[in-house]
Amino acid sequence: MASDSIKSVLVEDRVFAPPADFAARMGEVHVPDMAAYRAMHERSIRDPEGFWGEVARGFRWFAPWTRVVEWNLPDAKWFVGGTANACFNAVDRQVEEGHGDDVASGWEGEPVGPGGPEVRRGTYRELRDEVARCAEALESLGVRKGDVVTIYMGMVPELAVAVLACARIGAPHSVIFGGFAAQAIVDRVQDADSKVIVTCDGAWRRGGVVPLKANVDAACERLPGVRSVLVLRRTGTEGAMKNGRDRWWHELVPAQPATRACEPVDSEHPLFLLYTSGSTGKPKGILHTTGGYMVYVAATARWTFNLQPGTGQVYFCTADLGWITGHSYIVYGILPNRVPTVMYEGAPNFPAEDRFWAIVERHKATHFYTAPTAIRSFMRWGDAHPAKHDLSSLRVLGTVGEPINPEAWIWYHERIGGGRCPIVDTIWQTETGGHVITPLPGATPTVPGSCTLPMFGVDAAVVDEHGTEQPANAGGLLVIRRPWPGMLRGVHGDRQRFVDTYWSRVKGMYLAGDGARRDSRGYFWIMGRIDDVLNVSGHRLGTAEVESSLVGSKLVVEAAVVGMPHEIKGTGVAAFCVLHPDHAKDAGDAMRRRLMEHVAKDIGAIARPDVIRFTNALPKTRSGKIMRRLLRDVAAGKETTQDTTTLEDFGVLAKLRESDE
């Protein structure tokens, strides 16, 4: 850790000040310089009630709150006693305030016909009507306030509509990424006790069809509690509709009146569950509630991206709505700011590697927000692809998901931003709801690879296990020392896991699960997860999930999964497997492929191991714990320098190295 940090300090002394003409190109800048940032941040920590009270007054409430925050560690309540609706603030409010004809959203389908791709644009009024119809349709299927609705769709406009329709009636949504497979649906639907699923017949992906409805059908065989499945036709994929359970969107939704108003809900009413991987067991349902989340994501979007309605801005985020980035910074954070949000259905390299740049050009995007793994792919695909397109509309670039390597940062800055666009490297998590450490584009001088300074209201620090702040450049644990409005409110159905994971290791502080350091100017550098969670292409994957899938194949009796360096993904998945005695003779490439496919089918392509090694035994401590740090070294091809004195069988390690075919 220490030598890595020193290296990055030495290499990275390039500082990029916000461009001098940024203000001229953006109109007004919300946070125009570092003095303004420091004054606002200082106040937000000294007087959170005053600070957030003022911010929240910019939103519409059905009934006012009586207290801004109530903090009974680890439980926080925000805007206590207030009632509001997140869909109202995102959509209806704009119509009521005279902006019904403004463009709310843009969308591009993946297939490209002779006349170009299918492009849709919708106004706030159109969006409101469609959301109201969908809300009514969900109610006709028996959904009531408080019922969890599972949404498993491709990146189509109706996905955002379904999400907002749930918010409209106070039914928490649980969106499952369309790249996940049947087992992931089963786990999440069961955990949330969800009775209604919204899906598509299929989703377009790299020219092929992902059979979403077939996956739902397979999952439903193990989900007797599912009562209704609402199916949007997108790909025209044939499949049986189950009588009494399945309904077509195009038959049910358009037939509804567009009259359903937004349900006023308590500020702490659940808005959604979003499942994310942890270091042990099944994914956990992170709970976000209405008032605090709604305020936090819209306010942070405004500051981080300097959003300004009515100035021709167009915002394009490449994330999928199945992840928190899509929830917070495609839908809930962007729509209330009245800047059109652009969604794209498919793969970045379909039909060719310039697809994102074609979208930026076609929609005249001013903002582009993506992940470092994507940037590394763009670099590999070559400069010619962005160079073919007019990217001069761009003003602000963002990255999220994992630390960005300085080389990718510089490439992004030069080739995509033309050297004139500030880059906001935003670190946050499913649990934090919104950005917690990030540059502000008109104020913060950036250093490639650093996410710089905390967001307003976020008291971030790097501490040791006792909560003592670490000196400059000493690594430690990333924590947040007081509540912020967007923070998770719990892990669905598992109070103990909430307490243990986030609030126990460092007393009285929220533990993010990341290692970090601050440099001498106070900038944060994220050094990666401290638990058994991998960050694969900017997505979280629990090693335990992949291991249990491998063992679940019945071909493997024991498996250990660790991360390994991967040029594009950042971290790749390496699996060490002990085959079942009946299959031990089959150790080889065919078995590797079989296991890789098994995991991809079980969990989703994201979890497919990059490397599988067969071994007769896994290295364990005397107490029987798998020695993952040794396996990480083996996977990385490093000579291990780790202390091996507790190894039960030294020979195991030597054998693993030899088996490096």
| Chain residue whose CB lies nearest ligand PRX | 430
Based on CB atoms, which residue is closest to ligand PRX, 136 or 514?
514
Would you say 338 and 92 are in contact if contact means Cβ atoms under 8 Å apart? no
Least separation in angstroms between residue 369's CB and ligand PRX is: 11
Based on CB atoms, which residue is closest to ligand PRX, 145 or 521?
521
Based on CB atoms, which residue is closest to ligand PRX, 232 or 527?
527
Residues numbered 395-414 forming contacts with ligand PRX, rule: CB under 6 A: 400-403
* Cα 5 to Cα 7: distance, rounded to the nearest angstrom: 5
Neighbouring residues of 651: CB distance < 8 A, sequence distance ≥ 6? none
Least separation in angstroms between residue 32's CB and ligand PRX is: 24
Q: What is the dihedral of CA 399, 400, 404, 410, to 10 degrees?
A: 0
Would you say 94 and 102 are in contact if contact means Cβ atoms under 8 Å apart? yes
* Cα 583 to Cα 590: distance, rounded to the nearest angstrom: 12
Residues numbered 445-464 forming contacts with ligand PRX, rule: CB under 6 A: 451
Residues numbered 252-291 forming contacts with ligand PRX, rule: CB under 6 A: 276
Based on CB atoms, which residue is closest to ligand PRX, 391 or 451?
451
Residues numbered 510-549 forming contacts with ligand PRX, rule: CB under 6 A: 512-514, 526, 529, 535, 539-540
- Taking 3-state DSSP, the helix, strand and coil percentages for the chain, each rounded to the nearest 5, stand at 35, 25, 40
Peptide bond into 211 cis (omega under 30): no
Based on CB atoms, which residue is closest to ligand PRX, 107 or 510?
510
Least separation in angstroms between residue 514's CB and ligand PRX is: 5
Binding ligand PRX (rule: CB under 6 A), the pick from 76, 324, 374, 408 is: 324
Would you say 574 and 441 are in contact if contact means Cβ atoms under 8 Å apart? no
* Cα 417 to Cα 366: distance, rounded to the nearest angstrom: 10
Binding ligand PRX (rule: CB under 6 A), the pick from 89, 235, 325, 553 is: 325
Least separation in angstroms between residue 538's CB and ligand PRX is: 6
Based on CB atoms, which residue is closest to ligand PRX, 61 or 329?
329
Q: Is 444 in the site for ligand PRX (CB under 6 A)?
A: no
* Cα 143 to Cα 129: distance, rounded to the nearest angstrom: 19
Would you say 380 and 395 are in contact if contact means Cβ atoms under 8 Å apart? no
> Exposure of 101 by Cβ count < 10 A (0-12 exposed, 13-18 middle, 19+ buried)?
exposed
Least separation in angstroms between residue 535's CB and ligand PRX is: 5
Q: What is the dihedral of CA 137, 141, 147, 150, to 10 degrees?
A: -80
Least separation in angstroms between residue 572's CB and ligand PRX is: 16
Would you say 538 and 320 are in contact if contact means Cβ atoms under 8 Å apart? no
Neighbouring residues of 464: CB distance < 8 A, sequence distance ≥ 6? 470, 476, 477
Binding ligand PRX (rule: CB under 6 A), the pick from 321, 427, 562, 599 is: 427
Number of residues that bind ligand PRX (CB under 6 A): 22
Q: Which range in 184-192, 390-398, 423-431, 576-584 contacts ligand PRX by CB under 6 A?
A: 423-431
Catalog residues that contact ligand PRX under the rule CB under 6 A: 276, 324-325, 400-403, 425-430, 451, 512-514, 526, 529, 535, 539-540
